Structure 1
């Protein structure tokens, strides 16, 4: 009994630090027709038979309703200001879902219960030094999220395929100058700002609605949007869709 009482006193005096608390987090979920998309699900669009191969996007600059920064926990998926969400499904219907990142982990001092409006940016804040992926910390050094012709990060990479066709959406900074000497790194950064009001209920998940992103678009390679010449009409439609409740807080 004395030993039990002594242990209880130690835990009380230490603020119960013996029991490590997990950092606050938001789950990230992909949905089609307001339903979760399990690995390998065929999406019923443009005749059906379309599968999601890539779904990656950077979110950054999280702030509360007062504009105060909400720092993130550092990991291979996050810096203190940027997180890479990766909901991968390439070949998953043959070999199980590939590893990815389906959550946003905030630093321990963040109290998500007090957030009435969540502000963030879809994209990577631009600076001259951010153009070279080889010098960046993880997850900003992922080569598949970097332009091959234009310097700068891809902010979002969404790709779908069917038996006979493909469709792609690559969002990022375009018309970028040389990545070693750019004083103004990108003419058009394509950073998209979001402000979501706290919902009723759990408020623990951000939902990315893939069908809302693709609203009104006929899926085929010619209708892709990777900001190449001749894609302006499709890109305008996709960007307009992105501004209309593609990302939801539930």
Structure 2
């Protein structure tokens, strides 16, 4: 991808040089046009997601949290969509996600960070964005509302995975994280849209529970790591009677939903709740 990108830039640069050199007197408008053409060139996007426990990548066995608790995982998957890079003035540039019909399709990518439920993992989100200087990144954890109630049995991967589909009234599981502190009692955090109506497709969900994550800082478009801090996700959570954690199920699940920065009552992002799960690395 990087080689192809360099070749594209070289070809266009030669063309632009020739165009300018043949015009002895270049009008200001011509220079502006050439500048816009250069800015329109896409550059490759390569995001790499990693889940960390006490600063270390999660393993398939026992992991030790910073508070000395042990934790194991049997699922750690998230849908990522609506990726944008943020400029210094606050404007954004949309990332066009590539399509492989395995991990990415229809502008949606599936990040899979463990191997208990699946034999393969995927830490990459790939695509392209216009060349520019960016000071942040924004993405959504979840499937876009327009795609959330598709028939998963006839979709391209990764939207055809039955274990990532919640129900016909809720659509996909935007995030599916299952963990245990003792290897016996499992907590399943399933984030998905709720309070959906409009049979038979149930596309009108008043509580979307799609986390919009904004991370500020110097970003490397072609090679940027994004960390998921498990210690911060599990802050304030202890295993209780509620092993199935879905939005609206109450304590001890509420703290898990709030780690994404979402309001547990209406399923929207809440400016009074700082998401604590994701960070640039």
Fold equivalence (TM over 0.5): yes
User: SS of the residue aligned with 1:114?
Assistant: coil
Mark the CA change 1:115 to 1:80 in structure 2 (over 3 Å): closer, same or farther: farther
TM-score under structure 2 length normalisation: 0.69
Corresponding residue of 1:207: 227
Kept in 1: contact 2:169–2:201 (CA 8 A): no
CA distance in 2, matches of 1:51, 1:163: 7
CA distance in 2, matches of 1:225, 1:40: 22
Corresponding residue of 1:72: 97
Mark the CA change 1:50 to 1:128 in structure 2 (over 3 Å): closer, same or farther: closer
CA distance in 2, matches of 1:46, 1:165: 19
Corresponding residue of 2:207: 188
* Residue 245 of structure 1 pairs with residue 276 of structure 2: yes
Mark the CA change 1:46 to 1:220 in structure 2 (over 3 Å): closer, same or farther: farther
Shift of 1:235: 3.5
Mark the CA change 1:104 to 1:221 in structure 2 (over 3 Å): closer, same or farther: farther
Q: Which runs of 5+ in 1 are unaligned?
A: 1-10, 16-21, 92-96
Shift of 1:43: 3.3
Mark the CA change 1:176 to 1:158 in structure 2 (over 3 Å): closer, same or farther: same
CA distance in 1, matches of 2:61, 2:109: 25
Corresponding residue of 1:83: 109
CA distance in 2, matches of 1:24, 1:142: 25
Kept in 2: contact 1:87–1:100 (CA 8 A): yes
CA distance in 1, matches of 2:190, 2:63: 21
CA distance in 2, matches of 1:172, 1:46: 29
- The answer to which of 75-84 and 200-209 deviates more is 200-209
Mark the CA change 1:82 to 1:156 in structure 2 (over 3 Å): closer, same or farther: same
Q: Which runs of 5+ in 2 are unaligned?
A: 1-6, 12-42, 262-274
Mark the CA change 1:141 to 1:110 in structure 2 (over 3 Å): closer, same or farther: farther
Mark the CA change 1:128 to 1:242 in structure 2 (over 3 Å): closer, same or farther: closer
Shift of 1:233: 2.8
Kept in 2: contact 1:71–1:80 (CA 8 A): no
Shift of 1:118: 0.8
Shift of 1:148: 3.7
Corresponding residue of 2:236: 216
The 4+ residue runs of structure 1 with deviation greater than 4 A are: 200-203
| Cα offsets for 1:55-86 (capped at 9, x unmatched) | 00011101122232111111111125211100
Corresponding residue of 1:104: 125
TM-score under structure 1 length normalisation: 0.76
Shift of 1:167: 1.0
Instruction: Point out the structure with the larger strand share.
Output: 2
